[in-house]
Amino acid sequence: MRYLASRLLQMLLVLWVVATLLFLMFRLMPADPTSAFIDPTFTMEQQEQMRAAFGLDKPLWQQYLIYFANLARGEFGQSFFQQRPVLEILLSALPNTLVLTVSALLLAYLFGVLAGAWLAWKRGSRVEAAAVPAVLTVRAAPEFWLGMILLAVFGFGLGWFPSGGANSAGARFDSELARILSLDFLAHMALPCLTLALYLQGLPLLLMRSTMLEVMQEDYVTMARMKGLPESRIVLRHAARNALLPVVTAFALGLGATVGGNVVVESVFSWPGLGRVLVTAVAASDYPLAQGAFLLITVVLVVMNFIADLLYSVLDPRVTHGARG
């Protein structure tokens, strides 16, 4: 419990620091500080309303307190260009990002773990000698470039998949859930998901391979061999289970890269998610929207890290979080 509490505290600390950094960045920019929330195109009435809501005529430290009070209530201001509340825009983009990220992660880790275990089993063979540099090479490729190639080949060239967006134009759905479960959505998600997964699979694969090699030398594996258990049973039941732990740790560490990778992949496929909202907002100097999108991306990352931590403690009973030295 103490461990959980300290992790929770650290989560809040990261969020606080990021929020403070954003606050300072927008207030200390050379331009007019009110430009962070007020666009010249706003009506007088809107301008007054924003000034009051964010305390823009008050001293900096009061603005800081108001800023946090607003954040806590989910008040991010008004988008300059879409003339809608920032929160509304963010919440409509969030499901797209979450579904894409989680599917890509599952796909990448499922494939990576299985292929890694298989390569460890095939140790010293030609397949293994060719596979390791190949995996390294795919890992070195920029995600957006992988995406561009997949898009050119399967989207434009062969015409198997739609070339962008999350749904066909004009498609109507009864609910958000029906939209995400529709075939149309799946067809749109296939290429971005594959791109992200291709980029992500390297880490679990290489890690699984090397920990499997280590575990296969352990006494209990030798013992299982001596008992005459079939090789498949040894690999799956005895070795793989224990080799999984470092992979779960890496899962947490890799999340940061995933959330970053989202930004470019969403841009390549015009996927209406948080990353694309951030990119278009920054490009258009839509400050409130950019600020909100960055904060929400940070929240997603921090929460996923926390979940990965929980998962780890469930998987490894040896980790007793109460007593850490």
Partner 1 sequence: MARAADAPGPLARLAQALRIPAGDAFAAVGLSIYAVFVLVALLADVIRPHDPLEILFDEDGNLLANLGMSLAHPLGTTNLGRDIFSQLVVGTRAALLVGLAAAVVVVAIGTLVGLVSGYFGGWIDSVLMRLADIALGVPFLPFVIVLAGFLGASTGNIVLSIALLLWPNTARVIRSQVLTLRERAFVEAARVTGSSTSRILFVHIAPNILPLSFLYGSIAIGWAILTEASVSFLGFGPSNVVSWGYMLQDAYGSQALSRGSYNWFVPPGICIVLVVVAGFFISRGYEEILFPKLRD
**Cβ nearer to partner 1, comparing 4 with 18:** 18
Which segment (65-73, 168-176, 219-227, 252-260) binds partner 1 by CB under 8 A? 252-260
CB 250 within 8 A of CB 262: no
β-bridge partners, 85: 78
One-character DSSP codes across 269-290: TT--SHHHHHHHHHHTT-HHHH
Name the 3-class secondary structure at 30.
coil
Which of 32-37's residues contact partners 24+ apart within 8 Å by CB, and which partners? 35/287, 36/287, 36/288, 36/291, 37/77, 37/78, 37/287, 37/288
If one asks whether residue 290 binds partner 1 (CB under 8 A), the answer comes out as yes
Which two three-digit tokens encode residue 5? 């509490």
Per-residue x/- track, 185-214, partner 1 (CB under 8 A): -------------------------x--x-
If one asks whether residue 4 binds partner 1 (CB under 8 A), the answer comes out as no
We find the least distance from the C-beta atom of residue 160 to partner 1, in angstroms, to be 14
Least Cα distance to 37 among 72, 70, 59 occurs for: 70
Which segment (49-57, 69-77, 224-232, 301-309) binds partner 1 by CB under 8 A? 301-309
We find the least distance from the C-beta atom of residue 213 to partner 1, in angstroms, to be 6
The single residue among 34, 82, 163, 313 that binds partner 1, judged by CB under 8 A, is 163
The single residue among 77, 116, 192, 275 that binds partner 1, judged by CB under 8 A, is 275
In the block, which residue shows the tokens 């931590």? Answer: 309
If one asks whether residue 74 binds partner 1 (CB under 8 A), the answer comes out as no
Alpha carbon distance 250, 252 (integer Å):
5
| Contacts with partner 1, residue ranges (CB under 8 A) | 10-11, 13-14, 17-18, 22, 25, 29, 136-137, 139-145, 148-149, 151-152, 155-157, 163, 210, 213, 256-257, 259-261, 263-264, 267-268, 275, 278-279, 282-283, 290, 293-294, 297-298, 301-302, 305
